[in-house]
Amino acid sequence: MSNPSLLILPGDGIGPEVMAEVHKIIDWYGAKRGLTFDVTEDLVGGCAYDAYGTPLTDETMDKAQNVDAVLLGAVGGPKYDDLDFSVKPERGLLRLRKEMDLYANLRPAQCFDALADFSSLKADVVGGLDIMIIRELTSGVYFGEPRGIHQEGNERVGVNTQRYTESEIARVARSAFELARRRNNKVCSMEKANVMESGVLWRQVVTEVHAAEYSDVELSHMYADAGAMQLTRWPKQFDVIVTDNLFGDLLSDLAAMLTGSLGMLPSASLGAPMANGRPKALYEPVHGSAPDIAGQGKANPIACILSFAMALRYSFDHGDEATRLEKAVEAVLADGLRTADLMGPDGGSPVSTAQMGDAIVKALGASL
């Protein structure tokens, strides 16, 4: 049986630095767990534009379509601000998402006990938090037509259209129910069915998919504005939240700040199953390229390392090893090791990007 394949796209800014620490993790799994990957590496974003005049070449796109998973670092930076919109670094990432048809965006919000005081909420509210928000990524108001700005009489009018088909809703609902079966078997679907017809359809379709295919999963519905309130009141009431593109954008950012640091947050974007049954998948940290600290050893590699943990769980069917890696991260944080973004009033032991990666590898070894 061939090894699972992984395309690594470090990208720009701190991307190569945090990805170097992921390489250490991959090497450890090969040496200590017999879990090896066929890894290829390529360019995306500004570095690809510098080399090829485009943020993503057709050849790299072809590679992404034919591997088991893609792991991306970050793209962009101020040196590319004046480029034409069509070749800005971010267009490379958007092309990957579009052509791979990655319609389900998974954003976990997990608060390690050692970092509970970093949250703006009380520690007992966020301590041990572990929820997942699934955002529909390829439709909704960001893509609907008609759209634009036009003149009506004496004033300008801005138009965006919220549009969903039942098949688009059904497929992201299935992703949520399948994921819930791997977790605590609870899904809360959020929309605005009280004022939006698209919300009415969303609730109807999610309910129909649940009744026909996933009646074993507990399903609840909530208006998205009430959901935002509940996320800040008692977030641990949720397990999996599924919602549309716009509300998912807002709610996942809100949930991200419950955890205290953007440098800790991974993500996954999943598409339709391939011939081997695995979904097409792109994994990336939520943070940006942070060009202001690039090359200084200040970047936090944990979000990128946890993105690889998500790949282990959702693309490579090694949930046990994903848990091992997550617990290694938790152990290192509990020991007080902190990259610059995690240094708070209570102090801690400051470490560089590479030292954090080395510590996580050491904690992996201690788990055996």
What is the C-alpha radius of gyration for the chain, rounded to an integer number of angstroms? 21
Per-residue pLDDT tens over the stretch 92-104: 998 999 899 999 9
Give the separation between CA 275 and CA 130, rounded to whole angstroms: 31
- Predicted confidence (pLDDT) at residue 226 exceeds the cutoff of 70: yes
Per-residue pLDDT tens over the stretch 116-167: 888 878 888 888 899 999 999 999 999 899 999 999 999 999 999 999 999 9
pLDDT at res. 346: 66
Q: Where exactly does CATH 3.40.50.2300 map onto the chain?
A: 138-258
The one-letter amino acid code at 290 reads A
**Residues 233 and 203: beta-carbon distance below 8 Å:** no
Q: Which fold has domain 1-129+260-368?
A: Isopropylmalate Dehydrogenase (3.40.718)
User: Mean pLDDT score of the chain, rounded to an integer?
Assistant: 94
- 């037509």: which residue's tokens? 145
Report H helices in 234-344: 245-258, 302-314, 319-334
Q: Where exactly does CATH 3.40.718.10 map onto the chain?
A: 1-129+260-368
Which of 6-15, 42-51, 247-256 comes out lowest in average pLDDT? 247-256
Q: Which fold has domain 138-258?
A: Rossmann fold (3.40.50)
Catalytic site positions: 142, 192, 225, 249, 253
Output DSSP code: residue 83.
S
